[in-house]
Amino acid sequence: MHCDRLWKNARLATMTGQGLGLVDKGLIAARGGDIVYAGPEAEAPAFTAPEVVDCDGRWITPGLVDCHTHIVHGGNRAHEFELRLAGATYEELARAGGGIVSTMKATRAASEDELLAQALPRVDALIAEGVTTLEVKSGYGLERVAEMKSLKAARRLGEVRPLSVTTTFLGAHALPPEAAGDKDAYIDLVCRDMLPAVAAAGLADSVDAFCEAIGFTPEQVARVFETAKGLGLPVKLHAEQLSNLHGAALAARFGAQSADHLEYIDEAGAAALAASGTVAVLLPGAFYFVRETHKPPVDLLRRHGVPLAIASDSNPGSSPLTSLLLAMNMAATLFRLTVDECLAGVTREAARALGRLDRIGTLEAGKSCDLAIWDVERPAELVYRMGFNPLHQRVWRGTIRT
């Protein structure tokens, strides 16, 4: 059988099934950007290809998927970090007009080109560690034009860099100052003005909201979700990060793709996520950086069979993190996830959280040939090291793009 490119003499973590799906002497064949074979060399059809890559026994995983980021934004919040080091808390800074609103100002002031240029070095850091699919949320514009500008910049990341980008409209992220404290009126604007315009322009693949005392109530979030559903857009939710407002159950009621953070989720919330097949996205970078102490109840989520993903939450306020390798290490050290759970969390389960498991997240014939090839002896090394990048080669849609 003819194909475009072959990777042979590799060890594969296909991530199919429940565990890592290990193949000791594996081969991957790509044609037209898709995988046509991934499995044991001994069982492969006889392939011919103009290019054959000898992997010398290196490990291949699916290209990594960062399924929750706010990577497009103006400016940074290093100064707020200094204030936090002097004793202020994240919530105090938010209530004092800093926090998300300070990034909103910088985002509104930046042009689309500037937002793109500022995001690129952060995206490049993720790419350098094998990321091939990136989710990007809006939510720092907080009015129609700036939200659409952010989403356009996000889409362009996927045009100027070799990676797949999915976009999420997060208009209900925080209250802009001009709303003068009226959250219901702002939610009206999200539902009647912003969301229809974003959907009509095809700028969002899904819709998210921040369900929290410093964000929006479950009732307000439900209005956003009803509007999203009416426009045919799937939903996801920032839930139970700082308190338990039963956002996970709300997300499940709307068949959400994912519920994210979940430090304060309870048993009913976990059962609801399991029943709706909603992925729990854990964000250890935010937990670490905000110095939270209440850990997500991983055992409870496991007991209910909730799928677990891990993401960077890359954002200027609560998680200035641009490393999925470090996110995995934190998920293991802080939340006690196993190596298998960590690797599934940034591949298969992250793909599921984006509704893209049909195309990415595992090494299987018929999926996009997105690969990360690693200079490691065993997959556990990808979780174990801190601040070390063993990526050997990255492949996006069948082409070597390190």
Binding mask 314-353 for ligand DI6 (x = CB under 6 A): -xxxx-----------------------------------
Of 157, 82, 148, the C-alpha closest to 118 is 157
* Binding partner of 317, given Fe ion, ligand DI6, none, CB within 5-8 angstroms per partner class: ligand DI6
**Residue number, 58 or 261, with CB nearest to Fe ion:** 261
CB of 183 to Fe ion, least distance (A): 19
Piece in contact with Fe ion (CB under 5 A), picked from 30-38, 76-84, 311-319, 358-366: 311-319
Tell me, by CB under 6 A, how many residues bind ligand DI6: 14
Tokens 């689309």 label which residue? 112
Chain residues 285-304 in contact with ligand DI6, contact rule CB under 6 A = 286
Give dist(CA 132, CA 64) in Å, integer: 6
Judged by beta carbon, residue 58 or residue 77, the one nearer Fe ion is: 77
Specify the residue, 186 or 289, whose C-beta has the smaller distance to Fe ion: 289
**Interacting stretch for ligand DI6, rule CB under 6 A, among 28-36, 189-197, 310-318, 365-373?**
310-318
Answer yes or no whether residue 208 interacts with Fe ion by CB under 5 A: no
Alpha-carbon distance of 34 to 3, in angstroms, equals 10
Spatial contact of 317 and 77, defined as CB atoms under 8 Å apart: yes
In this complex, which beta carbon is closest to Fe ion, that of residue 313 or of residue 370? 313
- Angle at which helix 100-109 crosses helix 144-160, to 10 degrees, equals 70
Residues facing 238 on adjacent strands: 210, 260
Maximum distance among all Cα pairs of the chain, rounded to whole angstroms: 68
**3-state DSSP of 52-105:** EEECCCCEEEECEEECCCCCCCCCCCHHHHHHHHCCCCHHHHHHCCCCHHHHHH
For ligand DI6, the nearest residue by Cβ is: 317
Calpha distance 57→78 (Å, rounded): 42
In whole angstroms, the minimum distance from the beta carbon of 340 to ligand DI6 comes to 26
Residue 99 touching ligand DI6 (CB under 6 A): yes
Amino acid at 379: P
Residue 173 interacts with which of Fe ion, ligand DI6, none, CB < 5 to 8 Å by class = ligand DI6
The residue (of 263 and 313) whose beta carbon lies closer to Fe ion is: 313
Write the DSSP symbol of residue 129.
T
Q: Taking the CA of residue 387 as centre, how many other CA atoms within 13 Å lie in the half-sphere pointing to its CB?
A: 0
3-state secondary structure of 394: strand
Amino acid at 100: I
Nearest approach, Cβ of 319 to ligand DI6 (angstroms)?
Answer: 6
313 in contact with Fe ion (CB under 5 A):
yes
Smaller CB distance to ligand DI6: residue 218 or 317? 317
Q: Where do contacts with ligand DI6 occur on this chain (CB under 6 A)?
A: 70, 99-100, 103, 173, 210, 238, 241, 286, 313, 315-318
